[in-house]
């Protein structure tokens, strides 16, 4: 039975802090004092029914259940009760389309051309909140890096720092080792508005596939697993599987949401399209054509191949016509 190894005299004072600690992941959804108030209410109920000649009945400990939103409360009279925490209210309409817990990326059959020119996504409202996954200055942004697309942002941290879900959602993928490649220990969360958020290089993963998570709930601990030169969080935002600049959503140094509504435009799905650009600038980058330099290439031969001029290529890339090309170098040609 639950009370067989109970030692009431050693636990009477510790219960409130134990409950608050065990339920810290759920505080976003309610007033921070509500857990304490719930405990007080339960104690008052027991007090009213207790014989005044006997010791006061008090809650002394909590036990987790298979449902993380339900706790068992133990009392010092060898009785127990259940307390249900507030759950995220998630609209699951369309949430599980292209649901895949075995693969890092979902929506593999969706092309950018299949997406609308723009779509409005509600991020927060009176019943759904935001908590920054981690607050800090960025060490790397959404861009080409060493000739490869860097599809997210990097935030330096210490190993073991807590990473939180920014919005309510459901965990779609959890993996590590060779299966995730450069991501290292990785978590992917799908949110009701269609966004997916990625968390890479973790030292620990605190959730499992299909877990319901609330905004602000700890989901992992920062680390340096995978292809990483030091402890940091690699964070991505994707819509229908296509990455776009996370800075369009979050002001990371201040841990703030840019706006309650996010408008995603099709031309955002290009690693050259950044937060702060005008639509004209973003579209120009999206329409740009690039070429990877091969052995034997010259600026003249590349220009002839694309029907342009050496001067035009030099202007687009900010280089001199005397520039020595490197094999593998990426040049914008239009």
Give strand pairing partners of 213.
Answer: 169
Residues 166 and 300 in one domain: no
Residues 147 and 233 in one domain: yes
**Between residues 105 and 303, the one the model is more confident about:** 105
pLDDT band (50, 70, 90) for residue 147: low
Q: What is the pLDDT of residues 290-306, one digit of tens each?
A: 888 998 888 989 888 87
Q: What is the pLDDT of residue 285?
A: 79
pLDDT band (50, 70, 90) for residue 8: very low
Mean pLDDT of 170-189: 96
Residues 15 and 156 in one domain: no
Model confidence pTM above 0.85: no
**How many domains would you assign to the chain?**
3
pLDDT above 80 for 156 = yes
pLDDT above 50 for 326 = yes
Residues 27 and 171 in one domain: no
- Tokens linked to 143: 């861009």
Q: What is the pLDDT of residues 180-234, one digit of tens each?
A: 999 999 999 999 999 999 999 999 999 999 999 999 999 999 999 999 999 999 9
Euclidean distance between CA atoms 92 and 278, whole angstroms: 34
Euclidean distance between CA atoms 244 and 273, whole angstroms: 8
CATH number at residue 127: 2.70.70.10
Residues 30 and 117 in one domain: no
Residues 78 and 173 in one domain: no
Q: What is the pLDDT of residue 100?
A: 96
Mean pLDDT of 154-169: 98
Q: What is the pLDDT of residue 334?
A: 73
Domain interval for residue 308: 290-332
Euclidean distance between CA atoms 23 and 38, whole angstroms: 12
Listed residue (261, 156, 168, 243) closest to 198, CA to CA = 243
pLDDT above 60 for 22 = no
pLDDT above 60 for 32 = no
Mean pLDDT of the chain: 85
Residues 253 and 300 in one domain: no
Q: Which residues contact 220 (CB under 8 A, 6 or more apart)?
A: 163, 185, 187, 199, 202, 203, 204, 205, 206, 207
Euclidean distance between CA atoms 12 and 16, whole angstroms: 9
3-class secondary-structure state, position 234 = strand
Residues 43 and 179 in one domain: no
Q: Is 106 domain-assigned?
A: no
Residues 202 and 264 in one domain: yes
Mean pLDDT of 239-258: 98
């Amino acid at each position: 039975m639950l009370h067989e190894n109970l030692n009431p005299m050693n636990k009477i004072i510790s219960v409130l802090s134990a409950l608050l600690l065990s339920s810290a992941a759920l505080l976003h959804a309610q007033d921070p004092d509500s857990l304490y108030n719930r405990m007080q209410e339960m104690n008052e109920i027991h007090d009213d029914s207790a014989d005044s000649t006997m010791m006061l009945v008090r809650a002394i400990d909590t036990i987790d259940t298979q449902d993380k939103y339900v706790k068992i409360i133990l009392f010092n009279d060898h009785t127990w009760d259940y307390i249900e925490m507030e759950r995220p209210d998630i609209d699951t309409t369309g949430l599980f389309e292209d649901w895949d817990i075995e693969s890092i990326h979902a929506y593999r059959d969706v092309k950018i051309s299949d997406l609308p020119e723009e779509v409005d996504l509600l991020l927060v409202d009176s019943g759904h909140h935001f908590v920054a996954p981690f607050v800090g200055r960025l060490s790397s942004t959404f861009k080409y890096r060493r000739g490869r697309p860097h599809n997210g942002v990097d935030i330096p941290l210490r190993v073991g720092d807590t990473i939180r879900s920014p919005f309510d959602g459901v965990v779609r993928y959890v993996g590590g080792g060779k299966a995730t490649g450069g991501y290292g220990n990785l978590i992917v969360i799908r949110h009701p508005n269609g966004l997916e958020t990625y968390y890479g290089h973790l030292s620990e993963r605190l959730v499992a596939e299909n877990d319901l998570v609330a905004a602000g709930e700890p989901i992992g601990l920062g680390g340096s697993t995978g292809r990483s030169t030091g402890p940091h969080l690699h964070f991505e935002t994707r819509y229908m599987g296509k990455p776009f600049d996370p800075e369009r959503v979050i002001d990371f140094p201040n841990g703030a949401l840019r706006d309650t509504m996010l408008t995603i435009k099709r031309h955002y799905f290009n690693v050259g399209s950044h937060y702060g650009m005008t639509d004209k600038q973003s579209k120009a980058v999206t329409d740009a054509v690039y070429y990877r330099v091969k052995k034997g290439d010259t600026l003249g031969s590349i220009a002839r191949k694309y029907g342009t001029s050496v001067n035009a290529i030099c202007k687009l890339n900010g280089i001199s016509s005397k520039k020595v090309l490197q094999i593998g170098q990426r040049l914008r040609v239009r």
